[in-house]
Structure 1
Amino acid sequence: MGGKSGESLATVLVAGAANLAIALAKLVAGLIGGSAAMLSESAHSAADTVTELLLLVAVRRSGRPADRRHPFGHGKAGFVWATMAAVATLVGGAGFSVTHGLHELSHGEELANLTPSYVVLAVAFVMESLSFAKGYTQLRRQAAGLGIAPVRLVRLTSDTALKAVLFEDAAALIGLLIAGAGLAGSQLTGSAVWDGAASVAIGVLLLVVALVLIRSNLSLLIGRAAPQQVETGIRAVLVAQREVEDVVELLTMMIGPGDILVAAKIDFRDEATAAGVETACDELDRRLREAFPGITQVFLHPTQGGPVR
């Protein structure tokens, strides 16, 4: 947990520093050029900065050790704060961008000097690309450890900080391209409609990202199972134990960013003694944790074979 949370913390810090600097630069450029798309991008980056602050809290809170009142740890606190971060993106970024874009579409404000806006967009694209690259490198490393594709892992991961950074950086890169297209369209046609439409499009993009993250975090709060490939691997470890006849029931749950709880009803062979079953359970606990470092809780229940009632 310590290594994963530390890496996620570094990823969040890089993204937060980049977003804060970019938000200020976009704000200045937007005020100089009078561009709704640039001001929307500034709101986008400002919302992302708030999001990173909330994600920092999520990483810190989820990493707190277990105590008497929270015997399974504080991992799910990370899901709560990550949900709040997604709501901040929804309200701060998407809400401002859509309303400001609609205002420009209806009033047709004239644009001024757009050169600073193009410079800021180019610099912001480089900075956001570096932040995205760091997050994607972490994603690839985790995916390689689990033996699954990075694209699949980003959909299933319980590392909410990493997922939020990746989604928001990807949305930022797309938003920068939309803003650039809006500025170019308005400059070429002399109409502010393109700039206003770009602002609305950026807002819709942020809306989609926020809703996807909220949905994912709520699923984790409810108690989502580990990825199917991980469950398959867990079952393989259990049935490979010589004392095990069959795995009658296997349940898993993500109890924190990267942390997995495993509960299984196991039918042990009839010839296994009570002492043998105890030894086998201890061995299975050790082997599961070695095979899947994310497993933090293991509960094995000896039972008779047959269908679960």
Structure 2
Amino acid sequence: MTTPQTPEDQLPVGLAAAEPLDPTDSSQQSEQPENESVGTVIIAGLANLAIAVAKLVAGLFSGSAAMVSESAHSLADTITEVFLFVALRRGVRPADEEHPFGYGKESFVWAFIAAVFTFVGGAGFSIYHGIETIVHGEEMGAFLWSYVVLAVSFAAEGTSFLKARRQVTGASRRWGITPSRFLRLTPDTTVKAVYFEDSAALIGLVLAGAGLALTELTGNTAWDGIASIAIGLLLFVVAAILARTNASLLVGRAVPRRMHNQIAADLASIPVVDAVPTLLTMQLGPGDVLVAAKVDFRDSVSGGEIEAASDDAERRLRARFPAIRYVFLDPTRGTAGRNHVDGGVDI
């Protein structure tokens, strides 16, 4: 004769028990930015591939070092977009027993590789080719095709940049912050990479055009080499910014200070909570956040009330911030009213 299972016997364990309490249906809210980032990366990748071929042909016909460097720049950007696409795809895989917090940080790994490739493949080649041109000179051909390709490339890169800027502007408006501050704080390194790379591409096209124009006016090919070096230095700066951001996220960066303080306030506002002496957060991926806190519950409440309050806390936090994936609360002693505020990242 089998013993009937009680509701407690049927409660989930392991990863199933760690599933967040969903107050509404936040899945659509969390998927929209991801889908938007995928579209931004695909548009940027296709534009860069077409531009790289056009620049290479124009560079070979004109003999311009800056145009060849711009071709390497666009090719590096194309391969970078491939890395970023891989980052988006692999970073959203669900958690398993081997990776209980999911694969979100893999997005940062691939984005870091993309930044390194931009440095090696784009910046290194452009600087080297520019120095070669200054030292040894070069045979210049027809300039017209280079100017045409630069103009078409500017239009294509501008289209990709506008797509990235719209995403950044929309996201910053939702957060109530400026676009520049959003770019500093966002864990979505894919849209940040596209935005910075497209910005660098537009500036690089202007530099290449200036180098060609000065070379044509003066007959001195050193100007073309200088433009190539300037493009390389520009790529170096972009690669350094992106690499630094991804390294910080890989180490385990906290959420922005404004979000940290709001989480602390939400936890402290629960009736049976006296204080939140310690609040720790970590960005697990572009769209996943872990929250761990030591919470001082009132001494008079029962264990059941603490459990109910913990569930209420998770619902509150996820209702305000759908990116919060895990909430771990540790009952501990504290001093009433003394909460851990002004933590997190303040950039």
Q: 2:189 aligns with which of 146, 152, 160?
A: 160
Deviation of the 1:212 alpha carbon: 1.2
What is the match of residue 149 of structure 1? 178
Q: Give the whole-Å Cα distance in 2 for the aligned partners of 1:145 and 1:233.
A: 16
**Counterpart of 2:73?**
44
Find the partner of 1:261 among 287, 290, 305: 290
1:212 aligns with 2:214: no
Stretch of structure 1 that moved more, 143-152 or 218-227: 143-152
Are positions 1:248 and 2:277 aligned together?
yes
In structure 1, the partner of 2:146 is 117
> Is 1:137 matched with 2:166?
yes
1:109-133 CA-partner distances (Å, limit 9, x unpaired)? 1321111111111111111111111
Aligned to 1:53: 82
Amino acid at match of 1:72: F
Q: Secondary structure at the match of 1:298?
A: strand
Contact 1:146 1:230 in 2 (8 A): no
What is the CA-CA distance between 1:211 and the residue it aligns to? 1.2
- 2:325 and 2:170 map into 1 onto residues whose CA distance is 20
Question: Quick one: distance in 2 between partners of 1:163 and 1:184?
Answer: 32
8 Å contact 1:171–1:206 — kept in the other structure? Answer: yes
Superposed structure 1 runs of 4+ greater than 4 Å apart:
none
- 8 A contact 1:157–1:258 mirrored in 2: no
SS state of the match for residue 177, structure 2?
coil
Deviates more, 1:85-94 or 1:235-244: 235-244
Between Structure 1 and Structure 2, whose CA radius of gyration is higher? 2
Give the alignment of 1:290-309 within 5 angstroms: 290-306=319-335
Matching of residue 199 in structure 1 with residue 240 in structure 2: no
Q: Give the structure with the larger helix fraction.
A: 1
2:78 pairs with 1:28 = no
Distance 1:103 1:149 in 2: 42
Identify the residue that residue 81 of structure 1 maps to in structure 2.
110
| Cα-to-partner distance string for 1:44-90 (whole Å, 9 max, x where unaligned) | 00000000011111000001111111111100011111111111111
Q: Which runs of 5+ in 1 are unaligned?
A: none
1:2 equivalent among 18, 31, 40: 31
* Distance in 2 separating the partners of 1:227 and 1:52: 27
Whole-angstrom distance in 2 between the partners of 1:229 and 1:127: 37
Shift of 1:239: 1.6
1:233-276 CA deviation, whole Å, 9 max, x = no partner?
Answer: 11121122222211110101010013211111111223333222
Greater mean deviation of Cα atoms: 276-285 or 20-29: 276-285
Distance 1:71 1:147 in 2: 32
Match of 1:65 among 70, 87, 94: 94
Structure 1 partner of 2:305: 276
Provide the TM-score with structure 1 as the length reference.
0.97
| Aligned counterpart for 2:46 among listed residues 17, 22, 37 | 17
Q: In structure 2, how many angstroms separate the alpha carbons of the residues matched to 1:150 and 1:249?
A: 31
Mapped contact 1:264–1:299 kept (Cα < 8 A) = yes
Ranges in structure 2 where 5+ consecutive residues have no aligned partner? 1-29, 340-347
Q: Distance in 2 between matches of 1:245 and 1:147?
A: 30
Deviations 1:22-64 (CA, angstroms, capped at 9, x unpaired) = 0001001111111000000000000000000111110000011
Determine the C-alpha separation between the residues in 2 that align with 1:142 and 1:294: 14
Q: Which residue is 2:345 aligned to?
A: none
* Structure 2 letter corresponding to 1:257: P
Tell me, in whole angstroms, the C-alpha distance in 1 between the residues paired with 2:295 and 2:76.
Answer: 49
Percent sequence identity is: 57
C-alpha distance in structure 2 between counterparts of 1:186 and 1:91, whole Å? 27
Deviations 1:147-174 (A, max 9, x none): 2222111111111111111111111111
Residue 100, structure 1, aligned to residue 143, structure 2: no
Contact 1:5 1:63 in 2 (8 A): no
Supply the AA of the counterpart residue of 1:100.
H
Structure 2 letter corresponding to 1:13: I
Residue 142 of structure 1, CA deviation = 1.9
Distance 1:118 1:272 in 2: 75
The residue type paired with residue 240 of structure 1 is: S
- Between the aligned partners of 2:46 and 2:67, the Cα distance in structure 1 is 19
Secondary structure class of the residue paired with 2:98: coil
Instruction: Report what 1:91 is aligned to.
Output: 120
Distance 1:64 1:165 in 2: 22
